[in-house]
Amino acid sequence: MTDHHLQLNLAETELLVVSTNPSLYQNVTIQLGSSTITPSKTARNLGVMIDDNPKCHDKAAQSLLNKLIRSNLVNTTNQVEVLQRDPTSPLYSVKSFEELRLKPQLLQGVYAMGFNRPSKIQETALPMMLAEPPQNLIAQSQSGTGKTAAFVLAMLSHVDPENKWPQCMCVSPTYELALQTGKVIEQMGKFYPEVQLVYAIRGNKLERGTKLQEQIVIGTPGTVLDWCQKLKFIDPRKIKVFVLDEADVMIATQGHQDQSIRIQRMLPKTCQMLLFSATFEDTVWNFAKRIVPDPNIIKLKREEETLDTIKQYYVICNSKEEKFQALCNIYGAITIAQAMIFCHTRKTAGWLAGELSREGHQVALLSGEMQVEQRAAVIERFRDGKEKVLVTTNVCARGIDVEQVSVVINFDLPVDKDGNPDNETYLHRIGRTGRFGKRGLAINMVDSRFSMNILDRIQEHFSKFIKTKQMNVLD
C-alpha cells in the first residue's frame, strides 16, 4: 500500500503529536507512508479542552481519543438490530473472514492486523457491504467495534486495481480522524500494493490539472468537495463506494453537513453509500437519510445498563480535606486493584492527584489541557497497570474498558451546567467498574446539602437505593 501527493504545507496544517512531554516537540518528525512531516508550531501548542469548560465538549476530540485507545477490538455486550431495505431478502452473517471469499492479499492483511474472526458488527455488515449488487448501509457503531476495518475492507474489495483513478472515497470530520482511517487502509492493504491512497486534507496542495491515479481518497468534506468541484482532481461520476464516517461528529461542525450533501449529490446512483455514527439522535438520523438512499440499517440494541453488579455507597464529609481523609480510609480498609476518581474541576483533580502522590500512591492525572494523544498515552499506562489510580474529570467518563478497575469514586458528584444531576455521566462513571461480569464498587463523596440533594435525585432517577457507609466498617 503506497500513498502519493502528500506534500503538506505545514504552515496550514495542524498536526497532533504523540508525546506526554511538550518539551519533546522541538525535533519531532512523523513518518506517514513515504512522507516525513514535521509538526508546525500551531500544532505543538494545540490542546483540546473537553472537561469542565462547557465549550469544550469536543466530539471530534473524544472520537479521536476513542480511536487511539481502542486500537484493538473491545468486548461488547450490545446486540445488533438489523432493519433490511428488503425484509423478504435473506439476512446473511459470517463467523469467519474466509466465508467472505476475499482476495488472498486482503485476507492476509486482515490477519496481519490481528483480526482472527469478525466482530459482532462485522458479522452482519460485511456481507451487506460486499454484496453484488452493492447495498447501501447506515450503521451505528462506536470505536473498538471493528467498524473502520469493515468499511476499509469494503473499499479495498470493490477497487479495480487496473483502473488508475479514484474509485472509493471516505470523508471524515477532521484531519486527524482522516489520518487514522488512512492508517487502517495502509495496514490492511499492506499486501495489495497495486491499490494506492491519497489524502484530500488541508495543506495537501496539488498542481492544477493533476490527474489522480490513486484508487482511494480519504479526506475532509471541504477539501474533497474542492477536489471534485473546483479543482477537478476527482471525477465523482467514477466513484463506486462513498463512506461518511463519524456522522454525529460531522454534523457538529459548521459547514460539514452541507458539504457532505453536496458531495453526495455529485455521485452516480450506482455508488454504494455507507454511513457510520456512534449515536442516532434525530439530527443525525435526518442527516443520514439525506445522504444514504434506500439503506439497510444496523443499530446496536443497548442492553439495559444494569447497576446490579455494582455496589453503591455514599460517605458524608464536611470538607475537601475530609473527603481526602475518607479516601485514605478506603485504601486502608479494602484491597483495590485499580481505581478511578472523578472530580468536577481540573483544579480539584490536580490537587487530589498531588495529595495522593504524597501518600505514596501511583497516580495518573487526566485533564483537559492535555492533547488528545497525551490523554491516550496516560490511559494506556493506566490500562497497563503502571499507575494504580487515575484521577480525572469527565474527560474520561466514557469508553475506557480496564478490567482491573474495581473501585470508582465520585470525589464530586456529576452535575450539568445548570446544577442539576447529570444522570448519564453518573452511569458512565460508575460503569467503569463492574465490567466483564465482575462485581464493582462505587463510592460517592457527599460534603453539603447540595450534594446530598444531587445524590437523592440520582437515586430517584435510577430507582436505586444507595446506602451510607462509615469507612471503618467498609468491607
pLDDT reading at 54 higher than 70: no
Residues 6+ apart with CB under 8 A from 343: 349, 352, 391, 392, 393, 411, 412
The residue ranges of DSSP E strands in 278-361, in sequence order, are 296-301, 310-316, 338-342
List, for residues 371-381, the tens digit of each pLDDT value: 777 887 888 88
pLDDT at 252: 79
Per-residue exposure over 63-80, b if at least 16 CB sit within 10 Å of its own CB, e if not: bbbbbbbbeebbebebeb
Strands 296-301 and 363-365: unpaired
In this structure, whether the domain defined by 310-473 belongs to CATH 3.40.50.300 is answered with yes
**What pLDDT, in 10s, does the model give residues 421-454?**
988 788 878 877 876 556 789 999 999 999 999 9
Q: Is the pLDDT of residue 411 over 90?
A: yes
pLDDT at site 290: 94
List the end-to-end C-alpha distance of the chain, in Å, as a whole number.
56
Contact status, residue 171 vs residue 246, Cβ threshold 8 Å = no
DSSP per residue, 253-288: STTHHHHHHHHHHHS-TTSEEEEEES---HHHHHHH
C-alpha cell, 114: 490481528
Mean pLDDT of 76-100: 73
What's residue 70's pLDDT? Answer: 56
Q: Residue 18 has what pLDDT?
A: 29
**Residue among 299, 298, 280, 285 nearest 136 (CA):** 298
Where on the phi/psi map is residue 203: left (φ > 0), alpha (ψ -120 to 50), or beta?
left
d(CA 225, CA 236): 10
Is a pLDDT exceeding 50 seen at residue 295?
yes
Q: Which CATH architecture has domain 78-301?
A: 3-Layer(aba) Sandwich (3.40)
Write out the residue limits of the CATH 3.40.50.300 domain(s) in the chain: 78-301, 310-473
pLDDT tens digit sequence for 224-282: 999 999 999 999 999 999 999 999 889 877 799 999 999 999 999 999 999 998 878 88
Q: What number of other Cβ atoms are within 10 A of residue 34's Cβ?
A: 9
Neighbours of 329 (CB within 10 A): 15
pLDDT for residue 45 is more than 50: no
Residues 6+ apart with CB under 8 A from 400: 69, 379, 383, 432
Model pLDDT for residues 341-352, shown as the tens digit of each residue: 999 999 999 999
Q: Which of 44-58, 192-206, 428-442 has the highest mean pLDDT?
A: 192-206
13-28 pLDDT, tens digit each: 222 322 223 333 333 3
Instruction: State the pLDDT confidence band at 291, using cuts at 50, 70 and 90.
Output: very high
**CA 55, 60, 61, 65: dihedral to nearest 10 degrees?**
150
Q: Comparing 70-79, 198-207, 227-236, which segment has the lowest mean pLDDT?
A: 70-79
Helix (H) or strand (E) holding 64: helix 59-69
Find the length of the chain. Answer: 475
Residue 104 confidence class, pLDDT cut points 50, 70, 90: very high
Q: What is the Cα–Cα distance from 473 to 330, expressed in whole angstroms?
A: 10
Residue 159 has pLDDT above 90, yes or no: yes
C-alpha cell at 475: 468491607
